[in-house]
Structure formats: structure tokens, C-alpha cells
Amino acid sequence: MLRYFRINDPYRLLGLLIIMAVASLPLFLNSPGMTYPELKSILVGEKVRDGHTLYTELIDSTPPLAAWFNGVFDWMFGRSILARHILALLIIFSQAGYLGMVFIFKKAFSENTFIPSLIFAVLSLFSFDVVSLSPELLGSGFLLLAMNNLYKQIEFREQYAGSIFNLGFYIAIASLFAFSFIVYLVASIVILAIFTRSTFRNYLLMVFGFLLPHVLLMSLYYLYDGMGALWTYYYLPNLGFSNTWYVPGSSLWLLGALPLGFLVLSLIMMNRDARFTKYQSQLVQTMFFWMLFSFLQIFYSKELRPQSFLTLIPSFSFFITHFLLVIRRKKLAEIGIWAFLISTVLIQNSARRGSIAAVHYDSLFVKENPYAASVKDHRILFLGDDPSVYANNTLATGFLNWKLARETFEEPEFYDNVIQVSELFRADMPEVIIDPGNFMPKFFDRVPALKGQYIPSAQGLYTRVDKR
């Protein structure tokens, strides 16, 4: 397999696509079920497609580009998980191909090879949820574009203003998919300070490129009187350090043990046997710093699951490729890559089926909700922190993120909260309100017109009677 991908021929990438499709076939044929991040993406996409404005009419912290693309995906696929997985696989394939071409153009290795693309694809299969259409996957493509522009600065042959502006701009676009990607702005500043003679003007230009999309976003919301909502529901929640662990840390370590083992072995072999030019040595150090900041980005991210480690894959691919190229016995390297591929796929499928007891995906999958039998195929509002009830229903009103909406419902004595609830209800009336915390009676008392449209149908449930 290595001999096939050693040849610098873009058509070899078709073989890579076939390998990825075959390795992912069990996931496509036997889907493990919908995950909470996928459900959230679907709900956000449905509301955006229906014309609801993010943050002012949809209370959630999803970054804007992620939400708008979710609206496009909802228009394309509806709630089809299989279609989303297939598109995610194609995006991973395109990123793998692009990374390989970047390394070839930048002469990162002793030979021009698509082995990094192969390693990228194999690493993307270490857990089933990596092949998922998420904001992190979409944003990581722009990080690869940023990495390419960072290389241009290190290369010294393309020291022009456009590349360093693009570096900041692409990181900004990535942060509008996943806000934690803002860490790479700091990473770029550190790397440029160490490996280049960039002027203060260049740093300002990069920061300006980063700020431009955010300033445009703020200006847009300011014009439509939504600046307060943008700050409250997007920037403030994402600037915090709280996060949600969908998979326990022990499971993440176990799933990542094989890639980490290959990485450690690669670093040892490179330090002992590799011979680099000065430029290649700088690239090695650059990728090492990029990898360190990727770990920081992961722990800063708001949701921790195997796909969160997607940003580590380019640097892992870089170092493992160097390791395979320094092995003098090509037959031994060939055995190594086959063992890596087969072991990765076997671990992924075994963990997905529950055969590895130490890997727990329970908190990642959407569970059966107690209201599933009685409330189905309705436009509903659930006033709680378990969105699983929306798996068989549609979100009404814009109160999606309970962590952000909870304060509104817990403080009905504030006029602004009453107005917000009244306006969002008027724009999108739910057929059923599920209220286990008994928040709605206080709002019914303050909004009589709303109270007249709902009657209690069971404990904590309100059904709309006036459909006009």
C-alpha cells in the first residue's frame, strides 16, 4: 500500500477514497444511532431553514457559519443521518487529499508522496463519530488553509501581505464554525515569532484578517438590533471554559492509544534516524507547536468526544509519515501501515458495537425519552436539559439551549424575560409544552393571551387548544 501512495500522482487519491469507503461500510450499513451533536445540528438547521434568526429568535450558542450550513444541510438531506455521514466522509477525503498536496508543494518530506493523505484517512477512522457532519469537521478545512499560509511565511519565498492576511482570515472563518479554533490565532503568532522575522505590521495584518469576519458579523447584528443577543448567546458562552463530556476521559485515552503509540514511536525514530534540511527542520518544529496548541484547543472546546480530536490529525499524519519514510526496510514499513489500518478499523468497529467494555458511548447517543410514547410528531417546547424528546418531534419557539434559556424561565418577574417568551411564542407556537420544572404557570399569569391557548393535559404537559 505504501508503494502505491509513494508515487506523486493525484489519481492515486481515488484508491484512498475506495479504502475509506470500504472501511466505513459497516458504519453506513449498520448505523449506531443518532448522537446528541447530530440531533442539535438537525434542530438548528430546521430553525434556520424556517427563517429564524440565530441568537435573537433561536437561543443557542452554535457559531453562525455552523448554523447557516446546518440550514443548507437540512434543505439537502432533511433528517437523513446516512446522507450526512456520506457527505462527511467525502469532506474528510477532500481534506486528506488537500493536506497531501500541501506537503508535496512545500517539500515537507524527502520525497513527494501521498502517504500523509493515507495516514490522515486512517486516523479519521479511529472512532465512528469522526465521520459525522459537524461544525468541527467543516471548520478544520479552513484550518488547513490557514496552515498552508503559515507555511508560506516560514518558507521565506512568499513573504507577501496577502498570505499573512489570509492566515488570520481563515482562522476567523474556522472560529465561526467552532469558536475554540480561535486558539490557532495565538498558535500562529507564537510560531511566526519563533521561526520568522515578521514585522509588527505583519502581526497587525494577521489580527486584522482575523477580526474582519467577526466585525462584519457584529455590524450585521447591530444593524438589526441584535448585538446584545449576539454577545449574550454566542460570544459569552463560547468564551467560557465550561464543556460537556459526551465520552469519558478513560474511553478517549483507550481509543487514542494506538495513534498516540505510533506518534511516540515516530518522534523517537525521527530524532534518531531522520536527516532534515534547515527548512524541513523548521516545518517539523512548526508542526510540533501546532500539535501542542491542538491539545489546548481540544480542552477549550465546548464538547468533548472523539471527533474533538480531529484537529490533531494533520500533525499526527505529518510525524507518522516521517516515521514510515525513515524505515529502511520497505517491507517492514508496509507491514506497519497495514497493521495500523486494520487495527484502527477493528478497534473502531468493536467499540461501536460495545465489544470493548472500557469504551463507553452511552452519553453520546440520543436516549429514549419518557415522553416519547405520548408526544410524537408534534411541534413542541421542552423546558429541560434533555433534548432527546426532539428526536421524534420538531422544536417550536427558539428556546433550544436550556443552559442559556433557563435564566429567562426562572426569572418571570423581569419584564424583558416576559416579552422574550411572549414574542418567541407568538412567532412559533408549540403544539405541546413539556414543563417538568413547572415554569409556565408564572408566564401564563403574566400573559393571559398565552394562557388561553393551552390547557394542562398531564403532569407537566400543556396542549394547545386554540390553533388559530
Domain contains 168: yes
Instruction: Let me know whether 253 and 219 are in one domain.
Output: yes
Q: Average pLDDT for residues 157-166, to the nearest whole number?
A: 74
Instruction: Let me know whether 266 and 400 are in one domain.
Output: no
pLDDT at 363: 87
Asked if 23 and 125 touch (Cβ cutoff 8 Å), the reply is: yes
Instruction: Let me know whether 123 and 10 are in one domain.
Output: yes
Which residues are CB-neighbours of 30 under 8 A, at least 6 positions away? Answer: none
pLDDT at 46 over 80: yes
Residue range(s) defining the domain that contains residue 416: 379-464
Q: Which residues pair with 54 in a beta bridge?
A: 58
pLDDT at 324: 87
Domain contains 97: yes
Q: In this structure, which amino acid lies at residue 136?
A: E
Domain contains 371: no
pLDDT at 139 over 80: yes
Total number of domains in the chain: 2
Question: Which residue in 356, 334, 344 sits closest to 313, CA to CA?
Answer: 344
Domain contains 359: no
Instruction: Let me know whether 400 and 344 are in one domain.
Output: no
pLDDT at 45 over 70: yes
Q: Which of the residue ranges 3-12, 183-192, 383-392 has the most confident prediction, judged by mean pLDDT?
A: 183-192
Instruction: Let me know whether 433 and 348 are in one domain.
Output: no
Instruction: Let me know whether 339 and 402 are in one domain.
Output: no
Structure confidence by residue, pLDDT tens digits, 61-118? 999 999 999 999 999 999 999 999 999 999 999 999 999 999 998 888 888 888 999 9
Instruction: Let me know whether 422 and 289 are in one domain.
Output: no
Q: In this structure, which amino acid lies at residue 416?
A: D
Instruction: Let me know whether 326 and 439 are in one domain.
Output: no
Q: Which of 109-113, 131-135, 154-158, 184-188 has the lowest mean pLDDT?
A: 154-158
Q: What is the 3-state secondary structure (H, E, C) of the chain?
A: CHHHHHCCCHHHHHHHHHHHHHHHHHHHHCCCCCEHHHHHHHHHHHHHHCCCCECCCEECCCCHHHHHHHHHHHHHHCCCHHHHHHHHHHHHHHHHHHHHHHHHHCCCCCCCCCHHHHHHHHHCCCCHHHCCCCHHHHHHHHHHHHHHHHHHHHHCCCCCHHHHHHHHHHHHHHHCCCHHHHHHHHHHHHHHHHHCCCCHHHHHHHHHHHHHHHHHHHHHHHHCCCHHHHHHHHHHHHHCCCCEECCCHHHHHHHCHHHHHHHHHHHHHHHHHCCCCHHHHHHHHHHHHHHHHHHHHHHHCCEECHHHHHHHHHHHHHHHHHHHHHCCCHHHHHHHHHHHHHHHHHHHHHHHHCCCCCCCCCCCECCCCCCCCCCCCCEEEECCCCHHHHHHCEECCCECCHHHHHHHHHCCCCHHHHHHHHHHHHHCCCCEEECCCCCHHHHHHHCHHHHCCEEEEECCEEEECCCC
Set of cell numbers at residue 448:
393571559
Query: Could you give the strand order of the β-sheet that contains 432-434, starting from the edge strand earlier in sequence?
Result: 394-395, 379-382, 432-434, 461-464, 454-458
C-alpha to C-alpha distance for 289 and 286, rounded to whole angstroms: 5
Final residue before a domain boundary, out of 353, 368, 400: 353
Which residues are CB-neighbours of 105 under 8 A, at least 6 positions away? Answer: none
Instruction: Let me know whether 339 and 384 are in one domain.
Output: no
Instruction: Let me know whether 322 and 388 are in one domain.
Output: no
Q: Average pLDDT for residues 378-402, to the nearest whole number?
A: 90
CA atoms lying within 13 Å on the CB side of residue 221: 21
Residue 34: CB atoms within 10 Å = 16
Instruction: Let me know whether 96 and 232 are in one domain.
Output: yes
Q: Average pLDDT for residues 145-158, to the nearest whole number?
A: 82
Mean predicted lDDT score pLDDT of the chain: 89
C-alpha to C-alpha distance for 447 and 379, rounded to whole angstroms: 21
Q: Average pLDDT for residues 24-49, to the nearest whole number?
A: 91
Q: Which residue has the cell 480530536?
A: 309
Domain contains 447: yes
Instruction: Let me know whether 338 and 445 are in one domain.
Output: no
Structure confidence by residue, pLDDT tens digits, 224-240? 889 999 999 999 999 98
Domain contains 94: yes
